[in-house]
Structures are given as C-alpha cells and as structure tokens.
Structure 1
C-alpha cells in the first residue's frame, strides 16, 4: 500500500508542478491576479506531495517490502535500520526522488521567505522552478520510478546495499551535496525570471544572493564529507582522486563561488549584470551536468549510480532544454544588461572580476578533463586524463586566485589609489614570505611548490588579520570595541577566506610530507615509519550485523610511547559475498595514522598479510578548512543587512 501511495504522490506532484509552471506565469503576463496568487500554494502543496512520496519509500525500506524493485535491489533484511533508511538515496531511483524532494523544498521556502520580494518576481521564480520539477518528475515516473513493483515474482530477501555505502557518511553526504546542487536552481530561477521581466536592477541580486550563499554552504560541506568518506572508507588512503563524479561536484562549486562574488558587485554597484546572470545559468547547468554524468552510464566510477543509456539520453535532452533555453533567453535580453557605470583597473570590481575569471577557468579545466575522455571514446580514441593534468593547471590558478584575492579585500569600490594599496601589500607580503619559509622548515625536503603554497596561505591569513585590525581601530573606540562593531557579513568573508588558507595548508602538508609503506606483516612484526612504530599484535574474527570480519590489532608508538590502538578490518558481507577493507585511523590535529589490511599472504603458514601504513601530516586541515569556509558563509547569512531585500544599494569601502 505504501508503494501505491508513493506512486500516487509522484503523479500528484507532477500535476501540481505542471500547474505551477503554467498558470501563475500566464497570470503575470495577462495581469490575472487570481492565477498569480496560486503560485505559493501550488509550491507548498507540491512539497507536501513529494514529502509523502519520501515517507512512503522510507516505509517500504523500513518494512522490508521486497516486492518494490528498488527496495529489493538496495536493501536486505539483515541491513541495520539506519542504513535501510539511508538506502532511500543509496541508488539511482531514490537519489532522484531525493533530488526532486529537495527541489520542491527549495521552491516552498522561496514562497515562504520571499514576502518582501515583489509578487510578480516570486511568481516567475516559482514557475521556473516548477518547469524544472516537471522535467525531473517525468524522468522519475517514465524511466526511474522508485515505486515500481516486481510482481508477481519478487525475492524473499533483498540484494543488499552496496557495502561501500554502508557507512555513516551515506546518511549525511548525499543530502548535503544535493542541497547544494539543487539550491543553485533558485539563483538560476531568479536570473531567468529577471530576464523574462526585462528588469535586472540590483534588486534581483539582493534577492538571489542569500539563496546562493545557502546553496554554496551546503555544497561545500557536501564535497568535504565526500572527500572524508573517500579517505576512510575506500582503504586507499586518499582524499581526492580527480574522479569524474568528484569533478562533477567541484565544477558547480567553482562556478557558484564566482557567482557569489559577482552577485556582490551587481548588488553594490549595479555592474556585471550580464556576467552574473551567465554565472547563475552556468552554476545550475553544471549541477545538471553532474546529474547526467552520475546517472547516464557514460563513465565508470565507484560513485556512479546508473548504467542505462536511455536514462542518460533523457537527462542530456533535459539539460539541453534547460541550459539551452536559458542561454537563448540570455542572448535575446543581453542588450538590456549593459551598465553605463565604469571602474578603474585598480578597484575592488577589477580584482573580483579577475578572481571570477580564474574560478571559471578552473571550472573549464575540470570540465574539459572530465568530458574529453568521453568524447574520445565516442569517436574511437582511447584518452586517459589523470591527476598530472589537473594539478598542472590548478597550481598556477590557485596562486593567481590568492594573489588577486588579497588586493581585492584591501581595495575600495570604483577606484583604489595605488600607493596606499602598495604600502599595505609591501607590509603583508614580506611577512608572509618569512612566516611561510619558517613554517615550511619541517623534517624532510620541501619542494618549491610546497613552500610557495604555505607562503600563500600565510599571505592570506596575515592580510585578513591586517584588514581586521585596521577596520576595528578605525572606529576610535579601542580594539575590542572596534572588533564588536564589525558586521557579521564581514566576519563571514574573513572566515571563508581564512578557511581557504587552512585548506591550502592541509593539501600542501599531506601532499608533500605524508609517508606510505606497503609491507608484509604477521602478528608480532613491527614497521617503523618516520617517528612512529607500528606493532602487529594479533588477529581475531568477529561477526557484525550482516558481515563477518577479520580484524587486526596494531599498537602505534611514538618515541616508545604507545599513542594508539588501531583495528583495521577485512569484511565479507553475507548477502552478496563482497569483501571490503575498513581502515583504522587515529586522528589528530597535526597528523593521522592510517592502517589498512590488504590481502592474506601464506595464510596457513604464519597469518601474514599485506598491510598498508600511512603517516599523514595535516590531512584534517583539509576538511577543517572546508568547514570554516561553510561556517563563514553561514555567519554572513546571519547578518540582517545581508538578508534585507528592501535595503538600497550603497557603496562600501
């Protein structure tokens, strides 16, 4: 019965989304107020229908209803309850339902929280989001229905959830990532609605900016969680592999970061309007492209969900319609987006434009590196693009980004005198060089790229420290009172930029200072890596809720002092017989100790195993930096002035 309720809810949601896409928009163009009024109730009712479908699918998993094909393929009666419920989005059909549910949720929130936005604009925004919902609901109902029954014959027990996904990361990572993906639909809808109205004054940027920042925060956390999951779950000891699906999440993040900064210029100075609209279209289009890559079957990845080309064709057509339609509208209305205002080469606008170009170039590099092997395969060429390609571009682009970021923070809007800016840079830059050089004097040789990266991170932090102190002291109230006067939106910017510095430092430390050993070990053996000694104490067996495991016991010593007891596992899952590696990690702020069991060697002789051991300095700083960046965005959102859509644009220093 739950499956039938879910099925009916999806059809109801499709009907409501179709009405939302058509009638309120017609009401705006014909001046029919009654039709416009229905926009908000339709958005809220659509969300209720999608929520009912989500609850219905969750109940199917909870009750082990294996007559539902999706449940049978992604669950098992022995699967722990929290993984059964998280399996709602553990496969292709369920993840699309999550996507659609979140899209309806964003639309409902826009209807609820945009009371200060003119009704005509809200109606257009909700209608655009309704159009997007129609496409995804048609995709679900006609090609990827999570409520399809496997009748009359269905399995008595399920296939099981992919063991890689039987992890707490599955519970939080996909929802966070999808909240970011889908959240960019709001900025996209505001841009398209503005183009429809032909009215692109700074007001639309003020309305779209908070929604874009929320989406960016969610996507930042989602990417960080995905990196963390890959680090400890895959047993390879890595945190980023330039996998096509990882790239699919990075591309909209880069475009979204550029969009946030461009929205600030459009709001404050009524400039970059065409550029901002273009970035809004690109950010959401890249989110849709990520959906296509993950679910089309055109790539092979541990993250990919589907391998049905028909589904991929549907999403590709949908992507072309959404992105192509928006770009056609942009081309038709682009002439109205020109601004008569100007700015000098030395100004905040100029540096923000430079940063935007760097970010969009980085997104283009990732896009080409991800799609070119697929294009080559389509024309019969075997092309492989790996980490050296991406690293060769990202190192100089990251340097350029930081070098442009600091003078942008120091500069005024419209025009910045050169001498004061140069004086500030001549104070910060040498201090950063000295501090970075001292910080890079860790044991072992540091390549010049690593030293440069640490210097840039110090440059970023010292520059913001200098700026905070100058702004606080400018109030002439004393340092602490001045710090209290600084706006939360400003503190959010400082935290986000400093989070980037922490991220750069973490990447540098783990890239150049990690030590790895693959060794043959039996109980009683020891291996020394750097300042740490790992003793293989024993092996034992234990049974989990749906798997059997061989568990190793290792003691890690630092200068003959025991610092950690580590228990890596090799699991064999009952339902499918898959074997998985569960690494043991001892985390600390400055380093991680990482041990993973490989395969048994000479098992009948001495219980020897292939063992991989890492010492990873600073790896936690990668995720700490990402969380600081997301917290900075959230702090900026808490500033009432940031969220006040009625305020008039004013120049800021």
Structure 2
C-alpha cells in the first residue's frame, strides 16, 4: 500500500505541475485573473507531494520491502540502516525522484521569492519551471518509477544489495548536494527564458537570476568537491580528478554558472551583456540536463554512471532537445528585446568580466567537445577514440591560466571607464608576485615540471590578489556590499589554493608497491612503514582483511594506517578501502592488495603506498569557494531586505 501511495503522489505532482504551468502562464498574460495564487499553490502542493513520496521511499528501504523493484535491486537485509536510507537516492529511479522533488521546491521558491517588482516576470518563470517539472516528472512516472512492484514469485528474500562502492558515508551528502546545484540552476533558465518572452530589460532579469545562480553554483562546488574527495579515498587510484566523462558532466555547468554569476553582476550594475547573461542562464541548465543524459543513457562507461537501457536515454535526450533547442530558439528571436547597457572602456571592469566569461565559456566548450566527441565518432562508425587527460590538460589549462592571471585585477578596475594602467602600475602587482614566485620556487625544489611550476606561480599570484581584496574590502561603507566583496575574495582565494594544491600534488613521488608479511617493512621517502598485524574486520554485510601499518619517520612513530580489502557477499564484489595519513606536507596513501603465497609457505599481502604532497590545499580551496558563495549570497539577502524596508 505504501508503494501505491508513493505512485499516486508522483502522479499528483505531475498533474499539479501542469496546473502550475497553465495557471502561471495565464496569470502572466491576465494579472487580474486570480490564477497567480493557483499557480503558486500548485507549486507548493507538488513539492509537498514529492517530499512525502520521497519519505515513503526511504521508509520502504528501512523496512526492506523487496516487493518494490527498486528496493530489491539496491538494498539488502544485512545492510546497515544508514546505507538503507542513503540507498533511496543511490540508484537511477530514486535519484530521479530526488531530482524532481528539488525541482518542484525550486518552483515553489520562485513563486515565493521571485522578482516582486515584476509579477509578470515572476509568474512566467514559475510557469516555465512548471513545464520543466512536467518533463522530468513524466520521465519519472512513465519510465523510471521507483514504486514499481515486481511479481510475487520474483520477490527476493534478502535483496540484491547496493553497489559496494556506493556504501560510503559520502553517499549521504554528495548526490543531494550535487543535485541541488544541478536543479537549482533551473531557476536561472526559467528566469532567463521568462525575461526573453516578456521582453524585460537585462538589469531586472540579471538581478533576479543572480541569487539563484550563486546558490546553485555554491552547491555545485560543494558537490563536485565531495565527489572528488570520495573518488580519491574510495576508488584506490590515489588521484582526485581524472577527467572522467561523468566528472566533466558536472564541471561544464559549474564553469558556465561561474560565467553567469559574473555576467549577471555586470548586467545588473551597468546593463552590459544582457544577451550574454540570458544565454548563459539557458546554457547552464541545458548542460545540467546533458549531464543527466550522459550519466543515465548508458552511452558512457564510467564508475559514476548508471547502467540503463538506451530507451530511457532517448527520453532524456528528447528532454534535452526541448530544453536546449527551445531555449536557444526563443533566445534567437527575442534577445534584441533585452536592450543594451551603456558603453564601457576596453580596460574597465566590464571588459575584464567579458574576458573572464569568454575564457570560462571556451573552457566549457573544450570539455564538452572532449566528452562527447567519442560518442559521435562511435555513432558515425568512425575509428574508436578515447579522449583523456592529455587533451584536457593541453587545451583547457591555457584558458584556466589566463583566468588566474586576470583574477586579481578586476576588483580594482572601475566600472565603464578604463583603469588597467592605474591598477597595473600600483604597488599591488608587486605584492602579488612575491608569493607567486615563492610558490613556484617551492614546487621547483619539490621536483615539479614546468607546468607545475607555472601553476604554482599563478596560484600564489591569484591567492595574494584575493587576500589583498579581502583586506581592502573592509573600507566599504555599505554592509551588503562589504559582505559581497568578502564573498568574492574568499571564492577567488579558493581558486588560488586549488591551483597551488594541483601544482604541488603533481610533484608526488612514484608509488611504492611491495608484498609484505607480518613484521616486514617498506620505505617511501623519509617514512618507514611496517606491517605490524593483519586481522579480520568483518562488517554486517561484508568480509574484510585489515592491515595494521605502523608509520615511523626519523625513528619516531607518527601513526597507524588500516587499509582493508573487503568482499561483499550479496554483491559478490571485492573492494579496497584505503587509509590516508594527512599532514601539512601531504597525504600518505595506503592500499591493501591481494595475498601472495611465497615459496616458503608464508603469506604476504601486496601493499601499495604513495605520497601526495599538499593534497589538503585542494579541499581547503573548495571549502573557501563554497564559503565565498554563501557569503556573497548573504550579502545579497541583507541588501534586498534593506531595500524592502525602505
């Protein structure tokens, strides 16, 4: 009965989204019709229905109701409660229900917090959001319903279990956070399309888009960082970014959303780039939908992708065609209605924002081409190709380097009028160059490549510029402007830290692999690692061997690493659980491999060690970017509250 209620609620949300679309559209055309409240209430009711349905799905996992196909395929009676709950969004159907729930919540948010000064724009955006909900809910209800039953004769006794790689605490945070970013940017799409249809001025649309774009981009930042960290310690590869196609699927909307934020700031302030802001709003969510297609269509082979049949992929491809094709068609017809801002000098802040957006958009295009080209080559019967890290490093890296060079200057350039000469010949570039040079020398001494040294120099340069910006932002008189400037400085500092971390990490020493028996040691750098013990560490749904690796440096014990090799009985799958010793200098990364029988009859286990210098800078940089986004969002909220009071 619970599953049937869930199916009913999903169907009700589908109908309510249609009501939201039709009532909102009509209300935008005839404001006095009284349908505005109907549209808003429909959005709220759809959100409530989907939230309850999602709660019911979690309940079905908790009680192990294997008569529901999705539960039977992604849970097991012996699975810990935590993973039973997280499994609700660990597979395709459940994650699509989460996607639709968040999308409906965005629609309700637009109805409540959309642009108050222009009811027509708000109502049109709410209606468009209802249309987006309708598309994805139709996909959920008709092809990917998580409440579908299976035949009584096929009901398993214990369940098929969740993919062991997903049985990790990060499952509770990474997908919901990433989806909040993916779906949150749909508000920018709806507002941009509504502005084009209504023919509203660029400044009004940009002001409406800006907080949604910042919030979604912040969530995307956190989600991508969590995913990179998860892959780093879960997959046992010892790296944090692999240019995997599914990783790229989240990186592309992140890049375009970053460009959208900067463009919206310029449009709101001076009216510059109104068409660019609208276009980026459309592209950001279109790329999110493309990411959904890549992950769920079955066209990609990736540890992150869902293995689905091509028929469902065609559904998402059709949705993508409607979103991207329809949005771009409206943009082509209506972009001229947005108007143009005042002119600006080639060395003004607007010009630098334009360059920033160009570099970000080109980088997104490079990543897009590298991601989908193999798919087109395969579809057309061309020679099979694999686009990997060398392509992305050689093409995207110059764009990112140019961004880092420009990053410190923009906050010190005036709007409209030129000011690059004054900024370039001030004391600041000299101050910024000092930490950049120091970082480059440090990476040189660590044995880094020319590319790593250049990355360290640019990272130090950008970080110093951001710190200067943070310090000088204290003099701003208006509190909202000051808080927003702090957010900008924190985000820019995070970018510099990530560049420094990536440069340092690339200097890591080669890994050391050796078969160890109890009492034997191996050396990596200045550290000696001894296999002190090998013990059983079975869990509720897996069998495990756990190594006790004692780490000493200069004769002093510095810690114990406990990597494991696990076998999940229900899934019949082996996994490696790495252990990491993190210090200021970097991470000592340990992986326990297979046992080997020696000639003397003893058993040794393969142990792989690697040292990844300064890896913590990557996570700290991502945290700074996310904090910067939240801070900027806080500044906007305070400013709008003050405007409302006046």
TM-score (norm 2): 0.96
Q: Structure 1 stretches of 5 or more lacking a match?
A: 476-481, 649-653
Contact 2:544/2:566 (<8 A) preserved: yes
In the TM superposition, residue 141 of structure 1 has moved relative to its aligned partner by 1.1
**Structure 1 residues 339-380: Cα deviation after superposition (integer angstroms, max 9, x where no partner):** 152111111011111011111111111111110111111122
Corresponding residue of 1:111: 111
Q: 2-side partners of 1:609 and 1:434: how far apart?
A: 44
Name the stretch that deviates more: 461-470 or 356-365. 461-470
- Structure 1 residue matching 2:347: 3-state secondary structure: coil
Q: 2-side partners of 1:585 and 1:174: how far apart?
A: 23
Corresponding residue of 2:247: 246
In the TM superposition, residue 589 of structure 1 has moved relative to its aligned partner by 3.4
In the TM superposition, residue 406 of structure 1 has moved relative to its aligned partner by 1.9
Q: 2-side partners of 1:44 and 1:295: how far apart?
A: 28
Q: 2-side partners of 1:337 and 1:577: how far apart?
A: 58
Corresponding residue of 2:204: 203
Q: Does 1:632 align with 2:628?
A: yes
- Structure 2 residue matching 1:639: 3-state secondary structure: helix
Pair 26,320 (structure 1): closer, same or farther in 2 beyond 3 Å: same
Corresponding residue of 2:409: 407
Q: 2-side partners of 1:421 and 1:578: how far apart?
A: 59
In the TM superposition, residue 192 of structure 1 has moved relative to its aligned partner by 0.7
- Structure 2 residue matching 1:553: 3-state secondary structure: strand
**Structure 1 residues 25-56: Cα deviation after superposition (integer angstroms, max 9, x where no partner):** 02322444311221211110000110111011
Corresponding residue of 1:324: 325
Pair 641,563 (structure 1): closer, same or farther in 2 beyond 3 Å: same
Q: 2-side partners of 1:82 and 1:300: how far apart?
A: 28
In the TM superposition, residue 470 of structure 1 has moved relative to its aligned partner by 4.6
Q: 2-side partners of 1:626 and 1:584: how far apart?
A: 22
Contact 1:242/1:386 (<8 A) preserved: yes
Pair 310,643 (structure 1): closer, same or farther in 2 beyond 3 Å: farther
Pair 48,340 (structure 1): closer, same or farther in 2 beyond 3 Å: closer
Corresponding residue of 1:449: 451
Q: Does 1:506 align with 2:508?
A: no
Contact 1:176/1:222 (<8 A) preserved: yes
Corresponding residue of 2:463: 461
Corresponding residue of 1:528: 523
Pair 470,540 (structure 1): closer, same or farther in 2 beyond 3 Å: closer
**Structure 1 residues 596-629: Cα deviation after superposition (integer angstroms, max 9, x where no partner):** 0122211792221222101111111111101110
Pair 440,486 (structure 1): closer, same or farther in 2 beyond 3 Å: farther
Instruction: List aligned pairs for 1:182-581, cutoff 5 A.
Output: 182-339=183-340, 341-380=342-381, 381-424=383-426, 426-428=429-431, 430-442=433-445, 444-470=446-472, 472=474, 487-581=482-576
In the TM superposition, residue 71 of structure 1 has moved relative to its aligned partner by 0.3
Pair 125,418 (structure 1): closer, same or farther in 2 beyond 3 Å: closer
Name the stretch that deviates more: 392-401 or 345-354. 392-401
Contact 2:480/2:638 (<8 A) preserved: no
Q: Structure 2 stretches of 5 or more lacking a match?
A: none
Contact 2:443/2:507 (<8 A) preserved: no
Instruction: List aligned pairs for 1:76-95, cutoff 5 A.
Output: 76-95=76-95
Name the stretch that deviates more: 526-535 or 509-518. 509-518
Contact 1:242/1:387 (<8 A) preserved: yes
Q: 2-side partners of 1:629 and 1:529: how far apart?
A: 33
**Structure 1 residues 321-348: Cα deviation after superposition (integer angstroms, max 9, x where no partner):** 1111111111110222341521111110
Q: Does 1:20 align with 2:20?
A: yes
RMSD: 2.0
Contact 1:569/1:581 (<8 A) preserved: yes
- Structure 2 residue matching 1:562: 3-state secondary structure: strand
Pair 67,514 (structure 1): closer, same or farther in 2 beyond 3 Å: same
- Structure 2 residue matching 1:592: 3-state secondary structure: strand
Contact 1:206/1:645 (<8 A) preserved: no
In the TM superposition, residue 501 of structure 1 has moved relative to its aligned partner by 0.7
Pair 336,228 (structure 1): closer, same or farther in 2 beyond 3 Å: same
In the TM superposition, residue 281 of structure 1 has moved relative to its aligned partner by 0.7
Q: 1-side partners of 2:177 and 2:138: how far apart?
A: 24
Contact 1:515/1:529 (<8 A) preserved: no
**Structure 1 residues 216-236: Cα deviation after superposition (integer angstroms, max 9, x where no partner):** 111000000000000111111
In the TM superposition, residue 117 of structure 1 has moved relative to its aligned partner by 4.2
In the TM superposition, residue 466 of structure 1 has moved relative to its aligned partner by 3.4
TM-score (norm 1): 0.95
Q: 2-side partners of 1:169 and 1:603: how far apart?
A: 38
Q: 2-side partners of 1:577 and 1:273: how far apart?
A: 55
In the TM superposition, residue 514 of structure 1 has moved relative to its aligned partner by 4.2
Q: 2-side partners of 1:175 and 1:206: how far apart?
A: 27
In the TM superposition, residue 430 of structure 1 has moved relative to its aligned partner by 4.0
Q: Count residues in correspondence.
A: 640
**Structure 1 residues 434-472: Cα deviation after superposition (integer angstroms, max 9, x where no partner):** 333443354x42222222211112211222333444554
Q: 2-side partners of 1:29 and 1:116: how far apart?
A: 16
- Structure 2 residue matching 1:513: 3-state secondary structure: coil
Name the stretch that deviates more: 575-584 or 514-523. 514-523
In the TM superposition, residue 641 of structure 1 has moved relative to its aligned partner by 6.2
